[in-house]
Amino acid sequence: MKLIGHYLSPFTRRVGVSLHALGVPFELQFTSTVQTPEKVRMHNPLVRIPALVLDDGEALVESYAILDEIDQMVGPDRALVPPSGRQRRRVMQVTAIALASMDKQQWAFYERRFRPEEKVHQPWIDHNESQSLGGLRRLEELTAHAGSGWVAGTPRLSQADITTAVVVSFIMLIRPELKQQLPHLCRFTDRCEALPAFKSAPMPPSQPGRPGYVQLPG
């Protein structure tokens, strides 16, 4: 299998970490929507990363749908989202909050990244950032409550832990000033980042003196 994308993308990285956590073999094929859009389009008509190309050539898109298929591949006993009941609901909900926090941060980030300076609308950035912060504060409460356990209260690592930690690592790269407000969430993220599955799918380092600026290879 080939994972199309790169690990600065939290959506790609949560798939990479999940594959490593489950021991499913794959190859990361570095592809960027900005630098190599045609290579992305070959696998995803929306020209977004990630895509997962299966061994028979079929390409899957959208991280939630890719992760659902990976859970199907490994079966209900190993799946990162529990198959049913209260634990499934909690894992789905925590994952949804983490992912929505990322979506809103991305909307704010893209406003500055893709619009000419004179067309950037600061109130829209503020609106999205405050929605994202709402989600992050909820995750802060959940990780404070979880202590040394997992964020959704599961007995082992779940998709809620992977998505939360991957999202928080990315957000702290672009908004390091938030760290002070979210101490439990940052500690939880550090704990996850120390796990082999996270280390095997590392986020590219930020350039010194330019937080959030990462030179993509290729």
Ligand X SMILES: N[C@@H](CCC(=O)N[C@@H](CS)C(=O)NCC(=O)O)C(=O)O
Binding site for ligand X (CB under 6 A): 9, 11, 33, 48-50, 62-64
Report which of 6, 15, 9, 3 is spatially closest to residue 198, judged by C-alpha positions: 15
The per-residue b/e assignment along 82-117, b for 16 or more CB within 10 angstroms, e otherwise, is beeeebbebbbebbebbbebbbbbbbbbebeeeeee
Please give the Cα distance from 207 to 9 (Å, whole number): 16
**Helix crossing, 183-193 with 122-146: angle to 10°?**
70
Min CB(144)–ligand X separation in Å: 27
Min CB(203)–ligand X separation in Å: 12
By beta-carbon proximity to ligand X, the closer residue of 13 and 90 is 13
By beta-carbon proximity to ligand X, the closer residue of 26 and 64 is 64
Min CB(10)–ligand X separation in Å: 6
By beta-carbon proximity to ligand X, the closer residue of 4 and 146 is 4
DSSP of 194-210: TSHHHHTSPPPPPBTTB
Min CB(183)–ligand X separation in Å: 26
By beta-carbon proximity to ligand X, the closer residue of 50 and 82 is 50
